């Protein structure tokens, strides 16, 4: 089978995506398929340069996402590169990759692909929309306020956020991943919130101010209709930001998490419900905060989670004896049924 690995892209998570593309390319080769490693950021040259990136020892020289244009993605997928492709394995993250745009172009070309489809992808990356859906389904999620550009200087709104949500707050872009643009405000003032909103607004026109849930950070992968073991995330200091995620040794991962069976089962059930409510397919990973009473609050759901051999979904699968290569096989076969 001819399988294209689509990776890189033009979001701030480009470097993470490249690392995932390398791992998935290797695994699919081991499965015996013909692999085409394509970086759509380079348009019709996506295969030639994508192959060079995969073979490169250091991906950092290719990590600048700001030099690319969205039209390159359309040119790439609409080109002859995809004429004989049977399946696309998506390893794109963030906007213009995980948000339904690439998925819609693949749909128009009639090409099957991994992970969630257009509608679920667009709902999941929209934190405000997904939190509304979680709340409607009875899945606990931290209380929040949503800001649009006209609200960025609204001091009354900031004062209301502090009054309603507390002094410790999370400010985040509405449609980014990998904690990009997130600020934890420890003891909120109007000026601190303004600064945090400004930082988040660099990555999204819509910004969320969210109550901070004190407690443990856990994540629950879901494949199809089953949850994998829960992973607890323990950063060495501060919070689980981009540096802690992608710098070796900065975070401890405990899999399975050391939590009671009843809390584990209940939280896994919440992750499956979130997967179903959003309408996801394939693999997702839901991130939670677990308070001191054992109540889990969902933060977000990721429709294309990080996918290197040491990423969290493969880590949880490994706990069940599923290798990275076998995990890739399952993802492909489930979509082709």
300 is catalytic: yes
Q: What is the pLDDT of residues 63-113, one digit of tens each?
A: 888 899 999 999 999 999 999 999 999 999 988 999 999 999 999 999 999
CA torsion angle 188 189 190 191 (round to 10)? -110
Angle between helices 261-278 and 118-125 (to 10 degrees): 120
233 with 250: CB under 8 angstroms? no
306 is catalytic: yes
Angle between helices 70-77 and 101-109 (to 10 degrees): 20
At 241 the pLDDT is: 47
Q: What is the pLDDT of residues 292-310, one digit of tens each?
A: 999 999 999 999 999 988 8
Mean pLDDT of all residues in 197-223: 94
At 325 the pLDDT is: 97
At 17 the pLDDT is: 95
Mean pLDDT of all residues in 7-27: 94
13 is catalytic: yes
Please report which confidence band the pLDDT of residue 242 belongs to, taking 50, 70 and 90 as the band edges. very low
The one catalytic residue in 21, 94, 177, 306 is 306
CB-count exposure of residue 139 (10 Å: 0-12, 13-18, 19+): buried
> What would the DSSP string read from start to end of 136-189?
HTT-----EEEE-GGGTT-HHHHHHHHHHH-SSEEEEETT--TTTT-EEESS--
Cα–Cα dist 237/325, whole Å: 33
Provide the 10 A C-beta neighbour count for residue 332. Answer: 21
The one catalytic residue in 287, 289, 309, 311 is 287
334 is catalytic: no
The residue ranking higher by pLDDT, 141 or 334, is 141
At 64 the pLDDT is: 86
217 is catalytic: no
Domains of the chain by start residue, with CATH? 2-114 (3.40.50.20), 143-211 (3.30.1490.20), 215-303 (3.30.470.20)
* Whether the predicted pLDDT of 28 surpasses 80: yes
178 is catalytic: yes
């Amino acid at each position: 089978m001819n399988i294209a690995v689509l990776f890189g892209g033009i979001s701030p998570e480009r470097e993470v995506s490249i690392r995932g593309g390398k791992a998935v390319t290797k695994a699919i080769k081991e499965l015996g398929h013909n692999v085409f490693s394509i970086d759509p950021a380079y348009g019709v040259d996506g295969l030639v340069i994508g192959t060079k990136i995969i073979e490169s020892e250091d991906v950092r020289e290719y990590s600048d996402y700001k030099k690319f244009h969205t039209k390159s993605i359309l040119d790439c997928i609409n080109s002859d590169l995809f004429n004989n492709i049977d399946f696309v394995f998506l390893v794109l993250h963030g906007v213009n990759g995980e948000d339904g745009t690439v998925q819609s172009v693949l749909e128009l070309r009639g090409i099957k692909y991994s992970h969630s489809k257009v509608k679920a992808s667009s709902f999941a990356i929209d934190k405000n929309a997904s939190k509304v859906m979680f709340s409607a389904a009875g899945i606990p999620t931290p209380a929040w306020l949503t800001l649009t550009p006209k609200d960025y200087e609204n001091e009354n709104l900031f004062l209301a956020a502090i009054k309603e949500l507390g002094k410790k707050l999370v400010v985040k872009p509405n449609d980014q991943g990998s904690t990009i643009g997130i600020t934890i405000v420890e003891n909120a003032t109007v000026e601190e919130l303004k600064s945090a909103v400004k930082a988040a607004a660099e990555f999204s026109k819509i910004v969320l101010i969210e109550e901070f849930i004190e407690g443990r950070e856990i994540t629950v992968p879901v494949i199809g209709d089953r949850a994998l073991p829960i992973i607890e995330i323990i950063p060495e200091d501060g919070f689980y930001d981009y540096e802690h995620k992608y710098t070796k040794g900065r975070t401890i991962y405990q899999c399975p998490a050391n939590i009671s069976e009843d809390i584990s089962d209940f939280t896994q059930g919440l992750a499956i419900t979130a997967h179903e409510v959003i309408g996801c397919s394939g693999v997702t990973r839901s991130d939670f905060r677990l308070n001191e009473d054992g109540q889990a609050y969902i933060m977000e759901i990721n429709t294309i989670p990080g996918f290197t051999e040491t990423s969290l979904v493969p880590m949880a699968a490994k706990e069940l004896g599923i290798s990275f290569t076998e995990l890739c096989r399952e993802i492909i076969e489930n979509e082709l049924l």
